[in-house]
Structure 1
Amino acid sequence: MRRVIQSFAVYPFLLTTIGLLLPTATLGDDPSATGTAKDLFNGKDLTGWHVDVPDADDNPDIQPSFVVRDGKLVSMGTPRGHLITDQSYSDYRLEVEYRFAGKPGNCGVLVHASTPRALYKMFPQSIEVQMMHENAGDFWCIHENIVVSDMASRRPGDPSTWGGKQGQSRRILNLTDGSEKPPGQWNRMVVECADDQVKVWVNGDLVNEGFDCTAEQGQIALQAEGSEVEFRKVQLTPIRQISDQVPENQASDQ
């Protein structure tokens, strides 16, 4: 009987020891794991964001460039400027659902944003993922730079002019111009940033992929750039690495 009692006395210790040795399912243990998704837009107001509109410097009563309307975040297009997150982020998946509310035109989402008004006294230092109608997924380098595998065919200009500053060749063409929905319908853009890589899908199609980015973290910004655009989802999920294929449930509109 004494031996049996001793065996049971040791058993909890063994369980504790084994438990300490077993791997735990954390984001750091599994390279393909993701963290908890966070809605950057809460559907009610612009908490967590701030506005940078140069024309408002001398006219604080100017009409707002960004508003919340019927539960959607709306970029009014003018006055031109940016809506910027208060926090900086790295290693994430950004999911944006947007549509042009009227005549389709120009807009964009900026990743790795830092110094405000770095270019033309308007655009923050960043990598822009273009939302311009029929050009969704282009990269525009703004005082940062990024490389794609087929640079010679997708980046206009002589290689000596490639860069992110005024006068340099800042645009990198997307892989397809046919991925957007007709005007008025919702588009889903997925942007993944991890280490020095940025990868973009539009409605399930891979539209751009870059590496050797000169920035690996920063704020996220939405543009007011001439056209009214509605956003019904702006959601960020921590990731460990770039996905090989479009993330699950992101390939089709809902």
Structure 2
Amino acid sequence: MGLLITAGDATAQSLLKKPVKLFNGKNLSKWYVFIENRGRNKDVKKVFTVEDGLIHISGEEYGSIVTKKEYENYQLTVEFKWGDKTFAPRANQARDNGVLLHSTGPDGGYHGIWMRSIECQIIEGGTGDFLVVGDGSENYALTAPVAPKQEGRGNVFSPTGSPLTIHKGRIDWFDRDPAWKDVKGFRGAKDIEKPVGEWNTMVCVAEGDQISIFLNGVLVNQAFQVKPAKGRIQIQSEGAEMFVRKVELTPLPKK
């Protein structure tokens, strides 16, 4: 199986339609908030706020901002950086968050926290991993080419690998450090994500039932036969402070 889409292809297609700013720098008017054990729009601890033109995610409670609309066939650009603060139960673990695509079903459908979805992971050392945040059924799935399995390692994306279908769990980005540890401040030898406090750009190209993840201009992961292939978009709070300065969606033409 060859590459599903290249950075050049994505750029060319993105010129065809006008981008939609999902974050206007002023408020979260295109989103609602869901907080674990509190519900929709009950963000009493102000986990998600807009400060100085940025979305500030405190990380103090688990939850997400969720787009009010569903989307399909798009290129999503998210610019983010980590803050310093972390909170229990992950106060001393790797800073963890994520962008969840094709989110469907009830709020909190996954462990009472997030909508079921396909996650483009943002975690120290593992940004660009795929996770199926589903119910274990065929309703939530993806297939990705993976390298031959190595002892002690997860399933690792490889453009020339053999297709693997998962209904739960993850597909690691292609150069995830095999010595990764779930510790605060972890950095792998070949990490593409920039150090804490520096801005990163994640581009998720959702085209039909395919998703490609680019991190800081590098293709890090791809999947096809993704289920579902449309839905809302979530940005998580999962114990670590994060700032977001851009969330922009460019519609792509249907194949």
With normalisation by structure 1, the TM-score equals 0.74
Q: Distance in 1 between matches of 2:104 and 2:194?
A: 31
Q: Distance in 2 between matches of 1:58 and 1:214?
A: 25
Q: Is 1:174 matched with 2:173? A: yes
Choose which of 134, 159, 167 in structure 2 pairs with 1:163. 167
- Name the counterpart of 2:99: 109
CA RMSD of aligned residues (A): 2.6
| 8 Å CA contact retained: 1:51, 1:81 | yes
| 8 Å CA contact retained: 1:38, 1:235 | yes
Query: Between Structure 1 and Structure 2, which shows a larger proportion of helix residues?
Result: 1
| 8 Å CA contact retained: 1:31, 1:241 | no
Task: String of CA shifts for 1:92-132, please: whole Å, max 9, x gaps.
Answer: 00001000021561110000011122221212110000011
Q: Which runs of 4+ in 1 moved over 3 A?
A: 30-33, 57-61, 151-154, 159-162
- Name the counterpart of 2:207: 194
Q: Is 1:126 matched with 2:126? A: no
Gaps of 5+ in 1: 1-29, 165-169, 243-254
Percent identical pairs in the alignment equals 33
Choose which of 87, 95, 99 in structure 1 pairs with 2:81. 99
Gaps of 5+ in 2: 1-11, 86-93, 135-139, 157-162, 177-190
- Name the counterpart of 2:185: none
Q: Is 1:145 matched with 2:135? A: no
Task: String of CA shifts for 1:166-203, please: whole Å, max 9, x gaps.
Answer: xxxx1111112411011110000000001100000101
Structure with the larger RCO, 1 or 2 (CA within 8 Å, 6+ apart) = 2
The verdict on how the C-alpha distance between 1:142 and 1:151 changes in structure 2, with shifts beyond 3 A counting, is farther
> Residue 240 of structure 1: CA displacement?
2.7
| 8 Å CA contact retained: 1:189, 1:201 | yes
Query: Between Structure 1 and Structure 2, which shows a larger proportion of strand residues?
Result: 2
| 8 Å CA contact retained: 2:33, 2:42 | no
| 8 Å CA contact retained: 2:202, 2:216 | yes
With normalisation by structure 2, the TM-score equals 0.74
The SS at the match of 1:228 is strand
